Amino acid sequence: MNTTKVSLKIVLPGRVMLSEQECLKNPKESFNNHSMVVTDEEHHKEAIHFNTRKNRTVTQCLNISEEAYKAMTAKASNQKDDMNNCPEWSKARDWFNLSKTQRLVAHLDRISKSIGGLSFTYNVMED
């Protein structure tokens, strides 16, 4: 049976916009600023600036098993043997110099970014 070793909480942008009342309370932090350049038939360029309301954030929790934790943080005694533990998105030389915690954070950051996360926190359970 798989036991949970790491609890990962990822903050994601939600689908529900902030209400107008919430945005008026704190307008500097409640809007996304956008700008785009448009041209007409006569090739005149004009910059248009507009704001959109931000969305509420939601939290997604992921539990990571002990086997996955061991695979993410595995480290061999020498650099040549450690090449087997290096993921394809990292350089073997750089990966060898990372600590267990840094390796775990690198994997968790990739997981968070792959699902569009804004930020993440994690908790490693004791044995």
Return per-residue pLDDT of the chain as tens, 127 residues: 578 899 999 999 888 998 889 888 988 889 989 999 999 888 899 999 999 898 889 999 999 999 999 889 888 777 777 777 788 888 888 888 888 899 999 999 999 999 999 999 999 998 7
Residue 124: which H helix or E strand, with range?
A: strand 119-124
What pLDDT is attached to residue 98?
A: 87
What distance in Å separates the CA atoms of residue 62 and residue 72, rounded to the nearest whole number?
A: 15
Tell me the Cα Rg of the chain.
Answer: 22
What distance in Å separates the CA atoms of residue 94 and residue 85, rounded to the nearest whole number?
A: 12
Q: How far is CA 90 from CA 60, 64, 76, in A?
A: 26, 21, 16
What pLDDT is attached to residue 3?
A: 86
What distance in Å separates the CA atoms of residue 72 and residue 122, rounded to the nearest whole number?
A: 14
What pLDDT is attached to residue 59?
A: 94
The sign of the torsion formed by the CA atoms of 77, 82, 86, 91 equals positive
What pLDDT is attached to residue 1?
A: 58
Helix (H, G, I), strand (E, B) or coil at 10: strand
Structure tokens, 119: 């930020």
Q: Taking the domains of the chain in order of start, what are their residue ranges? A: 1-16+58-127, 19-53
